Amino acid sequence: MDHPPTNPIHPGSNGTLTETTSLVPTRLGRLHVRLVGDGPTTVLWSSMFVDSHTWDSMVPLLPSGRRYALVDPPGLGLSEPLRGASDISAAADAATDLLTGLEVDGPVDWVGNAFGGHVGFKLAARAGVLRSLVAVSSPAQPIDAALRRQITLLLPILRTAGPVGPVRTAILTAMLTDASRASEPLRQVVEASLARPTRRSMALAVQSFILNRVDVTGELAQLGVPSLFVASDDRGDWSPQDSEYAASLASDASAVTVQRARTLVPLEQPEMLATLVRRFWDQLSG
């Protein structure tokens, strides 16, 4: 692993945190990871379209004594470009490569936003990989027909011109509430994330991890670790009712809802999400 010099991340109540960065080899290319803190590893895997900076405001609010691995997903952020189409199962395989590359010893706590939650579903069904799962705004069902048609129409624009015009508008609308889109700092986090990967890699990621996403509702009973499913109040395809139903199918899961958020809950409501995650981890320890 490559470790450039440390840089400060946003300070929180525990004082200034520092980070190192690594490019960790996996079967889907080298993944860019920012490592914050020291101790047992906790993985924070980001949503589609964006990268690890969506966690920046939340990390200082989480417990000290952990090493937080903030991941740019395959083909996104500063991770290596995808070379071909893939799927969620392959992303989960890449996640196990990541844990090996980070020299993780023992199961980890996994916090995944959207795409990260989908990967977490797969890993939670594999013995010994996770200690716990927090899946944030992560529908267990595939995208509906109307959204599939919209993405299919916009994908050629993304592939040739990048996230511009109607593509950028559609992404921002899907990721953020109206109020969050009106906030320049929040909007800039998303726009900066969109500018990092290549056009081809972003298009392949959309094909791989959105269009190729399958229904895992029937697999939720196989989750082998305590799980928390976090819905938002403003995402139609992962409503509070959806998350509660998904939790009822797993052997050890609960569901909660965060208000005033859409898909990027860690970016839009970091304080509330951090509170829920801390409470969940405290219950595990108890």
DSSP code per residue over 4-63:
PPPEEEEEETTEEEEEEEEEE--BTBPEEEEEESSSSEEEEEPPTT--GGGGTTTGGGS-
Q: Which helix (H) or strand (E) holds 133?
A: strand 130-136
pLDDT computed for residue 7 by the predictor: 41
The residues facing 36 across adjacent strands are 19, 68
Q: Under CATH, which architecture does the 7-285 domain have?
A: 3-Layer(aba) Sandwich (3.40)
H helices of the chain, where? 88-101, 115-124, 145-161, 165-175, 178-181, 184-195, 199-206, 240-249, 265-268, 270-285
Q: How far apart are CA 21 and CA 135, in angstroms?
A: 24
Alpha carbon distances (Å) from 273 to 111, 119, 157, 280: 11, 19, 34, 11
User: How far, CA to CA in Å, does 56 sit from each of 8, 119, 207, 258?
Assistant: 11, 21, 27, 18
Residue 50 in tokens: 């964006």
- pLDDT, residue 285, reads 84
Residue 218 structure tokens? 């029937």
User: 143 near 206, Cβ under 8 Å?
Assistant: no
Residue 62 near residue 45, CB atoms below 8 Å: no
Tokens 């004082």 appear where? 15
Model pLDDT, residue 237: 87
pLDDT along the chain (286 residues), means of 10: 41 63 98 97 98 98 97 98 97 98 97 98 98 97 93 96 96 97 98 97 97 96 98 93 97 97 98 98 90
